Amino acid sequence: MNFGRSLIVIASAAIALQVNLVQAQETLKIGAPLPLTGALAPEGAKLRQGYELWLEKVNAGGGVKVADKKLKVELVYHDYQSTTPKAVQLAEKLISDDKVDFLFSPFGSGAAKAVSTVAEKAGVPLLASSASSAEVFDQGYKNLFGLYTDNSTFSEPLADLVKAKLPNVKRVAILARNDLYPLSLANEFEKSAKKRGLEVVFFEKYPIGTLDHSSALTQLRAAKPDWVIVTGYINDLILARKQAGELKVGGQVYTLINGPAYQEWIDAVGPLAENVTTASWFHPVLNYKSDDVFGSTQNFVAQFKQKYNGEPDFTQASGAAVGVILQQAIERAGSKDRNAVRAELVKGGFKTFFAPISFGPTGMADSYTPPVYQIQQGKVKVVYPADIATSDFRATAGN
């Protein structure tokens, strides 16, 4: 009798172990290397907020639907400390040690390009949340899919606006962070300016980690530009705008990317934000209807506000967007098999709260037009495209 009971106990334990093993396997693991410390920590924190909002939403609904079952999503984070070599090491670890099914890219074009080589070698689809430089996507990789349109979709509309609205603008000065994305963006602005007959009278690069732009801005001021363009990330651009004000750098137009789309940039520079232009792939003013877990841009914005007590900017939205794109691709495929999911990503046609997303031949999004914004009376206004514009484009007043 005891022997029989022992067999039952053993059998029950074996069944329970099998169930536990099956349940352990029935998850979707996504690797997310992030710059949670170092110079890019603000951007890393924002991406994580986007990931977490999507994760919370999808898991609250039971997970990602795969055929007749749902898989809970697990995000595996590692901090690469804002250094690209560390991002590469951690991507390798996520694939080999953590056994993730898919990858979200690190922040920015430089780190995304480096990590894409790791993903390609391992055959792991990589969703790039924040890479917009064509140089990232010119490697012939089949596992790289970028949410952002290329940098010329920023420079071309802005150059058109300046040419059409401010015919007296003739001289352009460009100060660029010496990093893949900001430098690529600066090069696109140079091309767009020259294409319209504008003279680029100053083009200089500043090193990553620069804590004083005064020397470069003094030289820039001497070039007497009508249009001042500075590229970099938020901390760079807070400093650059403040010092340009202190040095009384003139110009009819100030364009800074990426920075003015962030409320903290506006708060940090105060009145110097007035009439500064920028461009971004996302803003809460948009209102796409979507097939994702959020249902629309406005629903996403409302849920973000509820969770984080503030409006999302494009970086936070990008984190959630790569989540919903991957989710839709997996659900279409009816599998988390990498080849099947990759095939769905290639097909595109994803209706998301962020924008309608399809990927071009290189894997870069080519299915929407990013808006151009201008800070007017301390608020972000859309000045392009015309169908969603909330204000007219203005010249920068004073310094």
- Backbone dihedral region for residue 45 (phi beyond 0: left; psi -120 to 50: alpha; all else: beta): alpha
Residue 322 in any domain: the answer is: yes
Question: Which CATH number fits the domain that encloses residue 102?
Answer: 3.40.50.2300
Better pLDDT: 286 or 198: 198
Proportion of the chain above pLDDT 70, given as a percent: 93
If asked whether residues 108 and 178 sit together in one domain, one would say no
The beta-strand segments (E) located in 92-192 are: 102-104, 126-128, 144-146, 171-177
Residue 210 in any domain: the answer is: yes
Q: What is the pLDDT of residue 4?
A: 52
Residue 4 in any domain: the answer is: no
Residue 249 belongs to domain spanning: 152-280+371-388
Q: How far is CA 157 from CA 67, 153, 274, 281, 375, in A?
A: 43, 7, 20, 13, 17
Neighbours of 97 (CB within 10 A): 10
| DSSP-derived 3-state class of residue 173 | strand
If asked whether residues 255 and 379 sit together in one domain, one would say yes
Residue 366 in any domain: the answer is: no
If asked whether residues 59 and 177 sit together in one domain, one would say no
Planar angle of CA 137, 141, 144, nearest 5 degrees:
65
Which pLDDT band holds residue 38 (cuts at 50, 70, 90)? Answer: very high
Residue 168 in any domain: the answer is: yes
Residue range 236-245: mean pLDDT, rounded:
97
* Phi, psi angle pair for 125, to nearest 5°: -55, 135
If asked whether residues 301 and 237 sit together in one domain, one would say no
Residue 396 in any domain: the answer is: no
If asked whether residues 220 and 311 sit together in one domain, one would say no
If asked whether residues 250 and 376 sit together in one domain, one would say yes
Q: What is the pLDDT of residue 24?
A: 47
Residue range 233-259: mean pLDDT, rounded:
94
Q: What is the pLDDT of residue 196?
A: 97
Contact 345, 355 (CB under 8 A): no
Residue 110 in any domain: the answer is: yes
Which pLDDT band holds residue 2 (cuts at 50, 70, 90)? Answer: low
If asked whether residues 250 and 375 sit together in one domain, one would say yes
**pLDDT tens-digit profile of 5-35?**
554 444 444 444 444 444 444 899 999 999 9
Q: Does the structure show a pLDDT above 80 at 355?
A: yes
Count of domains for the chain? 2
Q: What is the pLDDT of residue 286?
A: 84
If asked whether residues 231 and 377 sit together in one domain, one would say yes
**pLDDT tens-digit profile of 93-144?**
999 999 999 999 999 889 999 999 999 999 999 999 999 888 899 999 999 9
Better pLDDT: 263 or 302: 302
If asked whether residues 69 and 95 sit together in one domain, one would say yes
Q: How far apart are alpha carbons 112 and 104 in whole angstroms?
A: 9
Q: How far apart are alpha carbons 324 and 355 in whole angstroms?
A: 11
Q: What is the pLDDT of residue 399?
A: 56
Q: Does the structure show a pLDDT above 50 at 349?
A: yes
Q: How far apart are alpha carbons 181 and 20 in whole angstroms?
A: 45
Q: How far apart are alpha carbons 139 and 204 in whole angstroms?
A: 27
Residue range 344-359: mean pLDDT, rounded:
97
If asked whether residues 21 and 110 sit together in one domain, one would say yes
β-bridge pairing 102-104 and 27-34: parallel
Residue 399 in any domain: the answer is: no
Q: How far apart are alpha carbons 203 and 175 in whole angstroms?
A: 6
If asked whether residues 63 and 181 sit together in one domain, one would say no
* Phi, psi angle pair for 101, to nearest 5°: -80, -35
If asked whether residues 273 and 296 sit together in one domain, one would say no
Q: Does the structure show a pLDDT above 60 at 1?
A: no
Q: How far is CA 84 from CA 19, 112, 257, 294, in A?
A: 40, 9, 21, 32
Q: How far apart are alpha carbons 78 and 275 in whole angstroms?
A: 39
